[in-house]
Amino acid sequence: MRKLVFPALFALALASGACKEPDPNAFETHIENIQKEGAAAAGYSDLEKLVKAITTSPADNEARIDEFVAKVIPVFEARWDEDAEYRDQMLSMLYLIGRPEGASLWNKGLVFDGSDASRKLVLASIDGIIKAKAVSTVDTVIAQLDILLASPKKDKGPEGGELRMAMVKALGELGDGKAVPILIKVMEQTKENQPVAVHREAAKSLGLIGDPAATEALLAVTFRVPDAPSTTDIGNRSKLALVAIGQPAAPGVIKMLKGGQEEVNKLASNNGVDLLIVQQTAVGILGAMGAKDGVDDLLAFMPRDGCVDPNAEAAKPSKKKKKKGKKVEEEEIDPANASLRAFVGNSLGLIGDERAAAPLCQCVSATHNAGDMFPITEALGRIPGETSVNCLVDLVKNGEYDPDTVESSDFIKQIRWEAARFAILLAGPEDVDAVKAAFSSNDGDEKVKGELAQWSAGLELLETCKADKDCYLKTVKDQNADWFAREKAAYELVRLAKGDVDVAVEVSKAFKVRNPDARVSMALMVPRILDGKKCNACAEAFEDVMQGEKGTMEAAMQLAVLTARQTIAKVRESSGAPAAPAAKAEAKAEDKAEEKAEEKAEE
């Protein structure tokens, strides 16, 4: 009888095994359904649920993702042609997994046949490519983009551009230099063939890649394609890209300043734009770049009429005019020249090279008009060195605006308290007595004296901290500290913490200070502290502040935002650098495949 028990138990075990439900957490379960006739829909749907559960789990899911790559991707590759109705689900899962091994499928999805269904697959493929940094798709993206440039109507013509924008964005994110020629080709398209939004995205991508070969195309596009003025128009986008390229782009911009960029000049002329506007555009770009190579050319371009060199011999009398109601004769200065001088002065201040201090000081009182006197004073306040400090101290003592250029007599001496802010910002511990003396010289004027008092927190900080880096750093970090004290601390950290990335990050975080002028200074000081180093954490700190205030930021912060964007372009690593991990992942996958092949061979 016992002999009959074992076969019965064995049969029961077989029956139990046959009734056992397939494991829903096993990829093999869903792969089997995908490959089974009539069960594909359930197979893809259930597999997608599993992938979502794995990728959203807080637990370490790397092993399961590796398993997906090894087991599922080969199945998708084999069934891509046959399972056309499930391609969107395949791409959705590849996006969630976010691994570059999906490149072969994304390459298939990128091929556009003109249908709406294909358009969705292209866009889904690009999303996955960007997330996974799948650099091996670059050639396919370039080829498909080139097809659309040749036949823009496939991308719904000038009113569309959705696919071209997405492809251009992907090339920038991937950061491969081989994309530069096609991106330049995008920049060379006319407004009839391509929406300006695609030009903007191409400029952004060229900035991310950072190849100086794009310089001429970035300079020309502003005059090739008209765009409505905004903080993100094609002019600002191309400027940011040139800032990101940095010093290697400077010679091309200087050539434009000198009127030597023939393609730019031709495009400007065709659009009725004067050469002077072209040159002013170059001036603005050089300032945003912080291009010290351009200082001498900027000074040569800056009008000097009315400027006085205190060390020069008395010049022969020039053309004079007598203003009504005034006894003193003054040199007649072309208002356009004064305005241009202020514009150039601003760029020289952004660059911050001491060579510009003396020429600007000679010109600061050329007109006594607030329209150019203040911008030059502000520029001096951004140029370190004894010459700038002495000039600003003199303005605190003696500066005056032309009464005809201010609202009332109360503001004739406004330049004194404006100059005082910058004098304190630039002053070192050795300059404290000179600054105090300049303040004291205004004791007889209650209006000026009262206005000067607003800068006391910065002066007190200088006297307290002297040359103590940690003291200034503590103030920068203190969100409750006086805004001007924090601004002064940032200036001092340029002197005391040059090359210190950690300090630069803290100054970047201090961009949240509530005063718009202080925000501009925070953004300007970060690259000076970094002294040529890159700092992605700094870029992220600026972006966090701006993102946190999106939709609520005051209009007064616009200049600060533009300055912060320029700083981000300067300090962020080019997108080519982060592509390495993706490449490593692809190599890792190849190594695994080789290992498996070797194991099978050994068996």
CB atoms within 10 A of CB 478: 13
Closest by CA position to 574, among listed 260, 146, 176: 176
Task: Give yes or no for residue 511 having a pLDDT over 90.
Answer: yes
Predicted confidence (pLDDT) per residue in 152-208, tens digit: 999 985 678 999 999 999 999 999 999 999 999 999 999 999 999 999 999 999 999
- % of residues, the chain, pLDDT over 70: 88
| Torsion sign across C-alpha atoms 380, 384, 390, 393 | positive
Token pair 């990829």 in the structure block, residue: 27
Instruction: Tell me the CA distances in angstroms from 364 to 304, 319, 342, 345, one per residue in order.
Output: 10, 20, 9, 10
The span from the CA of 243 to the CA of 253, in Å, is: 11
602: its two tokens: 């050994």
The span from the CA of 144 to the CA of 164, in Å, is: 9
List the alpha helices (DSSP H) in 412-500: 414-426, 432-440, 446-452, 456-465, 469-477, 483-496
Task: Give yes or no for residue 6 having a pLDDT over 80.
Answer: no
Predicted confidence (pLDDT) per residue in 445-469, tens digit: 999 999 999 999 999 999 999 999 9
For residue 304, how far is the Cα from the chain centroid?
34
Task: Give yes or no for residue 580 having a pLDDT over 50.
Answer: no
Q: Please, are residues 522 and 484 in contact by the beta-carbon 8 Å criterion?
A: no
Distance between the two ends of the chain, CA-based, in angstroms?
45
Across residues 476-501, what is the average pLDDT?
98
Predicted confidence (pLDDT) per residue in 268-308, tens digit: 999 999 999 999 999 999 999 999 999 999 999 999 999 98
Averaged pLDDT score across all residues of the chain: 90
Confidence (pLDDT) at 553: 87
Task: Give yes or no for residue 577 having a pLDDT over 70.
Answer: no
Task: Give yes or no for residue 77 having a pLDDT over 60.
Answer: yes
The span from the CA of 525 to the CA of 20, in Å, is: 68
Burial readout 449-476 (b: 16 or more C-beta within 10 A, e: otherwise)? eebbeebebbbebbeebeeebeebbebb
pTM for this one? 0.88
Across residues 335-357, what is the average pLDDT?
97
Confidence (pLDDT) at 158: 63
Q: Please, are residues 463 and 457 in contact by the beta-carbon 8 Å criterion?
A: no
Task: Give yes or no for residue 531 having a pLDDT over 80.
Answer: yes
The span from the CA of 473 to the CA of 489, in Å, is: 7
Window from 8-22, 109-123, 231-245 with minimum mean pLDDT: 8-22
Window from 37-41, 252-256, 336-340, 576-580 with minimum mean pLDDT: 576-580
330: its two tokens: 């003054």
Q: Which residues contact 153 (CB under 8 A, 6 or more apart)?
A: none
DSSP state of 320: E
Task: Give yes or no for residue 12 having a pLDDT over 60.
Answer: no
Q: Please, are residues 535 and 571 in contact by the beta-carbon 8 Å criterion?
A: yes
Confidence (pLDDT) at 318: 41
Confidence (pLDDT) at 551: 87
For residue 372, how far is the Cα from the chain centroid?
29
Window from 108-112, 369-373, 588-592 with minimum mean pLDDT: 588-592
Number of H helices, E strands in the chain: 33, 2
Confidence (pLDDT) at 308: 86
Q: Please, are residues 484 and 422 in contact by the beta-carbon 8 Å criterion?
A: no
Task: Give yes or no for residue 579 having a pLDDT over 80.
Answer: no
Task: Give yes or no for residue 595 having a pLDDT over 80.
Answer: no
Confidence (pLDDT) at 310: 55
Across residues 24-53, what is the average pLDDT?
96
Task: Give yes or no for residue 600 having a pLDDT over 60.
Answer: no
Predicted confidence (pLDDT) per residue in 116-139, tens digit: 999 999 999 999 999 999 999 999
Instruction: Tell me the CA distances in angstroms from 578 to 131, 206, 209, 399, one per residue in order.
Output: 12, 16, 11, 52
Q: CB-based burial of residue 560 (10 Å sphere; 0-12 exposed, 13-18 middle, 19+ buried)? A: buried
Residue type, 519: R
Strand partners, 320: 331
